[in-house]
Amino acid sequence: MRPLKIIYVFGLPVRIGGHYKSGLAMVKSLHAMGHHVIVLAPDGVDEMVQEFTQTGAEFYRLDKLKKWNRRLRLPTVAGTGRIIRLAKERSVDIIHGQDFAACGRAYMAAIASARGFVTTFAGGPFSHEPPPTQSDVVLFCQEQVQTFSKAYQTVEDNIHLIRARIDLDIYKPEEVHPTFVSKYGLPVSGQKIAIAMRLHPIKKQWLRTIIETAKAFCDNNRNTRIIIAGEGPLLNNLRAQAIKINRQCRNGPVIQFVGPIFSLQELNQFYNYADVVAGTGRGILEAMACRKPVVILSENCQGEMITPENIEDIAYYNFSGRHFRYLSETAAPLASVLEKLLTDGDLRKRLGDYSYEYIRSNMDAQIGAKQLLEVYQKAVNQRASLFDYVIWYFRAVYYRIVRVITMLY
């Protein structure tokens, strides 16, 4: 296969988030295989931008979405001209929209420049936004595949399930350096539960679970610490809650918010620092790669250990915790699940070893990059028309209006 040139388009600034890191893992793997990637995004945190450029990719800043459009989430063609110029100047083969916010500009640019087009609909709750017409769509879990097939009658040949997206060169077992512990003011004693999560209102149910669990640990005779890394509009409020909780704890502070960890190397240190990792989504996959036992969180103050018996149900829902609504038979109060793990060293080792082998066999980004290349080879010879774009655009607006009305009533 000849080397390909690919433009990756993100619709929002590159910051902390699972789909940014999944895209980064693909960019790194594609570059290692001899392909070249140009990344475009409306700005980004310098540390995350540097993660992309260190892979060998180029990074360019697109025009930011207007505030009203970020809220309405309507397709936009702003920045399309920049993408078209790059596609022609660099003889690009594929334009890849990395999220729904990028679809409008990336899809139009692919049509106008006669390039192949691929789009990714990242994990998380089903977004109720239709994929571009006559294009190849990359999804992360079987739940999405089933939903897209039923809701949008998407052509089966255009749907591609690619689950493998963890960079095993980054996320792996390693010794924790004292400088990392010192930099973030982490406790050096006791048993540590680590959680990496965006501190955004959409995560409030899970964050409530964590806060309630911290309160339950206040009267614990053992030295248990919950350490949360993340950024978002709720950070200051959560820190204030943590101060109040810690004042009531007889064995010292039980919960700590350390703010964002942008460096992937440091994030790997964070997982390795922990005895147990809890959370949802990509964060627990990264921790599993570090040979850590993990607990997946529900929305109602419950959790369960990920084991060989339940992992397929959990994976079906993209490690989001949505399986609790339909399938979980072992859910229990999060505090009791964590207590069981923390008091049983053999169980922690057994589940940690299983986590490590599962990720290596099923989630290696190098596997995912090879699958993505097959999608690109198909997309190179597939062209959408302006008519296809118009049909998709009005479908997207229609679904968005219906969603807004449904939320209002």
Do 60 and 26 belong to one domain? yes
Residue 154 lies in a domain: yes
Indicate whether 368 and 349 sit together in one domain. no
What is the C-alpha to C-alpha distance for residues 124 and 141, in angstroms, rounded to an integer? Answer: 10
For 314-345, give the DSSP string.
HHHTTTSSGGGGTT-SS-EEHHHHHHHHHT-H
pLDDT at 126: 46
Amino acid symbol at 373: L
Torsion-angle region of 79 (φ positive above 0: left; ψ -120 to 50: alpha; else: beta): left
Same domain, 29 and 17: yes
Residue 223 near residue 192 (C-beta atoms within 8 A): no
Backbone angles phi, psi at 276, to 5 degrees: -140, 145
Q: What are the helix (H) ranges across 127-234?
A: 142-152, 178-183, 204-217
How many domains does the chain fold into? 2
- pLDDT score, position 372: 97
- Say if CB 145 and CB 139 are below 8 A apart: yes
CA-to-CA distance for 139 and 119, rounded, in angstroms? 9
Query: Do 251 and 141 share a domain, yes or no?
Result: no
pLDDT truncated to tens, each residue of the chain (409 aa)?
689 999 999 988 898 888 899 999 999 999 999 999 999 999 889 999 999 999 999 999 987 666 555 555 778 888 899 999 999 999 999 999 999 889 999 999 999 999 999 999 887 654 568 888 789 999 999 998 988 888 777 778 899 999 999 999 999 999 999 999 999 999 998 899 999 999 999 889 899 999 999 998 887 767 899 999 999 999 999 999 999 999 988 778 999 999 999 999 999 999 999 999 999 999 999 999 999 999 999 888 889 999 999 999 999 999 999 888 887 677 889 999 999 999 999 999 999 999 999 999 999 999 999 999 999 999 998 888 999 999 999 988 888 887 777 766 6
Residue 297 bridge partners (DSSP): 303
CATH of the domain at 262: 3.40.50.2000
| pLDDT value, residue 33 | 96
113 with 192, same domain?
A: no
| Tokens 């449904």 belong to residue | 406
The rounded distance, in Å, linking the Cα atoms of 108 and 105 is 5
Q: Is residue 173 part of a domain?
A: no
- Statement to judge: residues 392 and 318 lie in one domain: no
- What are 29's two structure tokens? 């793997």
For residues 100 and 247, membership in a common domain is answered with no
Do 265 and 318 sit in the same domain of this protein?
yes
Q: Are 382 and 354 in a shared domain?
A: no
Query: Which is it for strands 302-305 and 332-333: parallel, antiparallel or unpaired?
Result: antiparallel
Residue 131 shares a structural domain with residue 215? no
Residues 21 and 57 in one domain: yes
Q: Give me the domain span that covers residue 222.
A: 178-362
CB-CB contact of 194 with 176 (8 Å): no
Are 258 and 349 in the same domain? yes
Residue 172 lies in a domain: no
